[in-house]
Amino acid sequence: MPGDRVVIVGAGFGGLAAARALKDQDVDVLVVDRNNFHTFQPLLYQVATAGLDPDDIAYNVRAILRRQANAGFRMATVLGVDWRSQRLLVDRGDPIDFDVLVIAAGATTDSFGVPGVDEHAFALKTLADSALLRSHLLSQFERADTDARAIDAGALTFAIVGGGPTGVELSGALSELVRHVLARDFPRLDVDRTRIVLIEATDHLLGAFSPQSQRHARKTLVSRGVEVLLETTVEQVTPDAVQLPGGRTLPACTVVWAAGVRAAPLAGALGLEQTRGGRVVVDADLRVPGRPEVFVIGDMAGAPAPGGGLQPQLAPVAIQQARHVAAQIDAVRRGSPTAPFEYHDPGTMATIGRNAAVAELGRFRFRGFLAWVMWLVLHLVQLIGFRNRASVLLDWAWNYVTYDRSARIIEMELLERRFPSALR
């Protein structure tokens, strides 16, 4: 088995960590992704709110793999697997043969079947999502500046559905963009009429955190002008409103759906057993039952046990699983038994805005300025590449000192494609 070909589907945190962890093994590694870049997903919300440029959080996969002699890259979308001949079916070029397969294609937004979400709500999972949301929300201010009646119709109401880290971070950042930046950009517009409404189905924000952190996040958001609607479900999304229970309608031309994720569609195309959220069922060692050469990690990996897998959208889960899988590949190739995966929780954090965040590391809880600085440093360190790091640091320093934001760019081409009559 020397020279075995390990194919990794997905260049997210999990896929790239798996490639790196296989560096010293006598295997050929091929990473396959539909994009030629890695997206640093935790900062997508900052792109959407004009705090960072899209290119700051994207990094070319070939540049990442350049120094690893046994790794290559192929840009393609994986459509399915021919299990008999052990090859991936892709949307362009020849099929891709593998000896070992690591599936790390991540997650996509889950509308939970709520009508109108797929058509009218904005997602925040890809770089294109964030650029589209940025263009759309800025264009709503241009529209309201031209026609004040549009405000009554919801032009300046931003409904964010889902009170997890994405929803909390996005509403906090949006509040700052509006109060510190757009209020000065639009002197003739009554920017105070902007409404940011965070809608959460349970009775608390940030489900994975302690009650103290949850209350702190909520209080901080409210003090910064965000309306937090707890125990509220969304019944329907229309082009310019959110339908709430009891016949209530919230006029809102911008609805962001951050309520949950499910495994990427590829999971369904594999013909493997799936669990909650479309995840692929794996054994304790992260192998697919009955397919010893196939591993699944990150948001696509599900456990047969109740719960169906670890909490999604956490980079540490994907990265630890990636390293575990690399070790198991080594074990299998040496004829040793595999070991079950164990997750070591390094803690979690979420930023609420300027000088405000919550962080929980084991028994230690932080909030406010200290947690915020920890958040900044951690994310800066995790960003790949010196240039991206320096560029993000520059943007953050500039934003912090001047209360300004970087490129507030409306890309009409993006908008016109999705909403042909959005600005009329």
Residue 366 found at the interface with a second copy (CB under 8 A)? no
Beta strands across the sheet bearing 287-288: 71-75, 27-33, 4-9, 100-103, 291-296, 287-288
* Residue 169: CB minimum distance to a second copy, A: 21
Specify burial of residue 51 (Cβ count, 10 A radius: 0-12, 13-18, 19+): buried
Q: Which of 3, 93, 271, 420 binds a second copy (CB under 8 A)?
A: 93
Give the DSSP letter of residue 260: -
The piece of 89-97, 196-204, 319-327, 369-377 that touches a second copy (CB under 8 A) is: 89-97
Q: Which of 3, 85, 91, 420 binds a second copy (CB under 8 A)?
A: 91
CB of 416 closer than 8 Å to CB of 133:
no
Q: How far apart are CA 381 and CA 392, in angstroms?
A: 11
Residue 412 found at the interface with a second copy (CB under 8 A)? yes
Residue 407 found at the interface with a second copy (CB under 8 A)? yes
Give the DSSP letter of residue 279: P
Q: Which of 99, 293, 345, 404 binds a second copy (CB under 8 A)?
A: 404
* Residue 226: CB minimum distance to a second copy, A: 24
* Residue 128: CB minimum distance to a second copy, A: 5
Reading the block at residue 323, the tokens are 């390293």
Nearer to a second copy, 193 or 417 (CB): 417
Q: Which of 84, 92, 149, 344 binds a second copy (CB under 8 A)?
A: 92
The piece of 215-223, 241-249, 345-353, 406-414 that touches a second copy (CB under 8 A) is: 406-414
Residue 390 found at the interface with a second copy (CB under 8 A)? yes
Q: Which of 112, 269, 394, 403 binds a second copy (CB under 8 A)?
A: 394
User: What residues act catalytically?
Assistant: 169
Q: How far apart are CA 84 and CA 79, in angstroms?
A: 16
Give the DSSP letter of residue 191: G
Taking CA atoms, 108 is separated from 84, 242, 263, 319, in Å, by 28, 21, 6, 18
Q: How far apart are CA 255 and CA 238, in angstroms?
A: 9
Nearer to a second copy, 239 or 316 (CB): 239
The piece of 6-14, 73-81, 245-253, 374-382 that touches a second copy (CB under 8 A) is: 73-81
* Residue 281: CB minimum distance to a second copy, A: 31
Residue 396 found at the interface with a second copy (CB under 8 A)? no
Give the DSSP letter of residue 126: S
Residue 149 found at the interface with a second copy (CB under 8 A)? no
Residue 406 found at the interface with a second copy (CB under 8 A)? yes
Q: How far apart are CA 178 and CA 158, in angstroms?
A: 11
Query: N- to C-terminal Cα distance for the chain?
Result: 62
Cα dihedral 362, 368, 371, 372 sign: positive
CB of 32 closer than 8 Å to CB of 9:
yes
Residue 99 found at the interface with a second copy (CB under 8 A)? no
Residue 76 found at the interface with a second copy (CB under 8 A)? yes
Q: Which of 79, 97, 119, 146 binds a second copy (CB under 8 A)?
A: 146
Residue 183 found at the interface with a second copy (CB under 8 A)? no
Strand partners, 185: none
Q: How far apart are CA 210 and CA 360, in angstroms?
A: 8
15-54 mask for a second copy (x: CB under 8 A)?
-------------------xxxx---------------xx
Residue 240 found at the interface with a second copy (CB under 8 A)? no
Specify burial of residue 230 (Cβ count, 10 A radius: 0-12, 13-18, 19+): middle
Q: How far apart are CA 51 and CA 68, in angstroms?
A: 33
Nearer to a second copy, 222 or 394 (CB): 394
* Residue 82: CB minimum distance to a second copy, A: 18
Taking the CA atoms of the chain, what radius of gyration do you get in angstroms?
22
Q: How far apart are CA 355 and CA 400, in angstroms?
A: 10
Binding site residues, a second copy, CB under 8 A: 34-37, 53-56, 58-60, 62-63, 66, 72, 74-76, 91-94, 127-128, 138-139, 142-143, 145-147, 184-188, 386-387, 390-391, 394-395, 398, 404, 406-414, 417, 423-424
